[in-house]
Amino acid sequence: MEESKKIEGVPQVQILQEGHPLLRSRSQEVTSFDENVAALAGVMNTVMRGANGIGLSAVQLGIPIRLITIGEGVLREETWALVNPKIVKRAGEQRTREGCLSISKGKWWRAIKRSLRVVVEYQDLTGAPQKVKAHGLLAAALQHEIDHLDGVLFTDYVPEEEKKEMAPRTKQYPLINRAAKRAIREANHG
C-alpha cells in the first residue's frame, strides 16, 4: 500500500492513496449540517486547488462522508460543495481522459467511458435540496467524485490488460498548495 501524500501548507491533511481501505468503502450520509461540514468543504477546496485537481471527495482525505467539491475551472465560476450527491439520471456516452489524486498521486491518466449527461440531486452546505443537470467535463467530474463515495476508483473501468499501459502525466504536479508555491517563488526571486 502506498503511503498518503501530505499537503504542504495544510496541517494534518493527506490525500489517501490507492490501497487504503477507506477508498474502497461506501461513505456515510451527512445528517448534520453544521460549521464542521462547511469547514471541511473549505479544507477540501484548498487541498484540491493546491493539488491541481478539479474535484475531491471527503473520503480521499480519510473522512468517509458523502461530500465532494468540484473546482471553479469545471464550467463554474466558483468552487462547489455537494453533500449527499446522487445521480438520478444518465444519458449518452463520452470517453473522458481521467486521472485521480489517489492513484499514483495523480500521475496516471486513462481514457474511460462515462455518461455524457447526468442529473444529480444533492444538498448544499445548509442542507437545502438542490439539483443540477450536467454534461461533458462537469458530468464526468461529478461521476468520478460520486464514484469515490461508493468505493469505486476510475481504474475500475479500465480493462486489466490495459492497466499496465496507463500513461503517466507528462508534466508532474506536486501536491502543494498555491500559497506554498507563491512562497517558494518569492524565496527564489526575492
Is residue 3 part of the annotated active site? The answer reads: no
**Catalytic-role residue among 2, 77, 145, 165:** 145
Amino acid letter, 188: N
Q: Which three cell numbers stand for residue 117?
A: 449527461
How many C-beta atoms lie closer than 10 Å to residue 149's C-beta?
Answer: 24
In the chain, which ranges are continuous DSSP H helix? 35-50, 136-149, 160-163, 178-189
| 36 to 42, 65, 79, 83, 186: CA distances (angstroms) | 10, 12, 18, 13, 33
Round to whole Å and give the CA distance between 84 and 88: 12
Active site residue ranges:
145
